[in-house]
Structures are given as C-alpha cells and as structure tokens.
Amino acid sequence: MADASRNADTEPLAGEPMSIARSLIRNASRITVLTGAGISTDSGIPDFRGPEGVWTRNPSAEKTSNISQYLADPEIRRLSWRQRLESPAWTALPNDGHRALVELERQGRLVALLTQNVDGLHQSAGSDPSLVVELHGTIKKFRCWDCGDEGPMQAALARVKAGDPDPACEACGGILKSATISFGQSLEPAVVAAAERAATSCDVMLAVGTTLGVYPAAGLVPLAWRCGARVVIVNAQETPFDSIATAVIRVPISRALVELLGGQ
C-alpha cells in the first residue's frame, strides 16, 4: 500500500506535465488505472458529456440511462433497444490507448484496470479480464430486472431484429436490460470493493478520459490520493480533481498513453 503519511506530496514537481507524468509512471511499481468514455472515442464510440457527446447533442437520450424511466416507460425501453442495436460498440476496435495499457500490464506493474466503460474494448485489446474491473457493467450481456436471468446480448438483440421491440425475459416474463449500471442503480458491492482495494494499494493512480463527475467511480481518485498515491489525469476537459493531481495532461488520449507508457 502507498505511504499515506506523504499524502501524495502535494508540492508540484518541476517540468512539463508529460515529462513529470512519464517520470512518475516509470518509477512506479504499482499503478491503478481508471478509464472513462474518452479512451474509446478514438475507436468511434462517442462519449456522453464532451462537446460532441451523445447527451450533449441529444439531452433526451439520457432518459434511456435512468433506471426509473426505463422500468416505467415501454417507449423508453423500445428506444433503448433500438440504440443497443445501433451501438458502435459492436464494430469498434481497440485503439492505441487500449493497447498501451496492455503493455503496462505486461510489465507487471498494473494493479487493476478500473473502467467506467461498458464496451469491452480493454479485454478485446488483450487486457487480462481478471485485472479489468467493469464498474458500470457490460453491454455484452442482458439481465432480467426481475429474476436476474442473464445471457449474451446478441441473443436478445436477435429477438429485436426479429420484430420484438421490447423483449421480455424468457424465464419469468420480466423486464430485460443490458447488464450495465443505469442512473439510479447501485454498483455491485463486490465490484466496488475490488475497485477500492486497487485504489488504496497503488503508488500512482492514472485517470484517463473521465470527467470524474459520476460517483462512486469518481471517488476512487481522491481515495487513492488520501492513501498516498500520486495522481495523473489525462482528459480533454477539466475535472474536479485536477487540483490534487501531480500532472494533468490535455494531449489527445491515445497519443498521450503511447507517450506515457511506451518504452517504460
């Protein structure tokens, strides 16, 4: 575990943010990574809150991510199923940023890869699934809200393609949704516990492509910092925790990760 007594040494280091971050990562033995939607934009999956984000361009689309509205309104569910059919996640490929994180794992210094993304691109890039903590679940599976039955999302989507706009659970007749965490849903306790262990046992917390505005995922960064980890943030926009970061990098994410992690 990182030394909590130094509380991340808030004195700034000299040098440009990229060189500072490279030095921190090069000398770290235990690195925990937190990724958000920004890492997948180079793979063709738009983020939610950025200038060209899904919810920025169409605020009403956010309704499909609210569990209360999803459960109460059949039209919201039908819209959600149409969106799932058309999701770019089905054709997206990992980008250089995803692959750079695989290289960090191969070096034996990755504690865990905590991701707010549901697209599975970290695993597609070659990240060990046992090191990937999917904080917000996965779009690759469906789950019944009533009985908990689950299966591959493509099986449910096949029913949508065949003409069922809101497929019910075949086991109990209940409401199906993707195995993702919607607004109003709690994260799985075991997932939260795994993420907190990773945050409290690293010497560098690298937050990539996340606005750090959604909890409890956002709280992992200050948690790591309080436990003595240095924080490096790579994001196009400001975050609430830029002030505790030793380095904040605004370079495009894929390029930044290649520069940060290549040849370490």
136 is catalytic: yes
Domain ranges of the chain: 1-45+94-136+187-264, 50-91+137-180
Q: What is the mean pLDDT of the chain?
A: 90
**Rounded to 5 degrees, what are φ and ψ at 223?**
-60, -45
- Distance of alpha carbon 92 from its chain centroid, rounded? 16
Q: Which residues pair with 137 in a beta bridge?
A: 180
Asked, colleague to colleague, whether 1-45+94-136+187-264 and 50-91+137-180 share their fold, the answer is no
Please state which CATH number belongs to domain 1-45+94-136+187-264: 3.40.50.1220
pLDDT-based confidence at 65, cuts 50/70/90?
confident
H-type helices in the chain, by residue range? Answer: 17-27, 54-57, 67-72, 74-85, 96-106, 121-125, 153-161, 189-200, 220-226, 253-261
- State the helix-helix crossing angle for 253-261 and 17-27, rounded to 10 degrees: 50
Active-site residue, selected from the candidate residues 22, 122, 136, 230:
136
Which pLDDT does position 262 carry in this prediction?
74
pLDDT, tens only, 129-159: 999 999 999 999 999 999 999 999 999 999 9
In angstroms, the CA 88 to CA 84 distance is 9
User: pLDDT at residue 71 above 80?
Assistant: yes
Please state which CATH number belongs to domain 50-91+137-180: 3.30.1600.10
> Half-sphere exposure (CA, 13 Å, Cβ side) for 186?
5
User: pLDDT at residue 56 above 80?
Assistant: no
In angstroms, the CA 113 to CA 198 distance is 9
Which pLDDT does position 177 carry in this prediction?
96
pLDDT, tens only, 8-27: 444 445 569 999 999 999 99
pLDDT, tens only, 199-249: 999 999 999 999 999 999 999 999 999 999 999 999 999 999 999 999 999
Which pLDDT does position 53 carry in this prediction?
54
pLDDT, tens only, 175-189: 999 999 998 999 999
Can you tell me the mean pLDDT for 1-8? 41
User: pLDDT at residue 51 above 60?
Assistant: no
Which pLDDT does position 226 carry in this prediction?
98
Cβ atoms of 232 and 33 closer than 8 Å: no
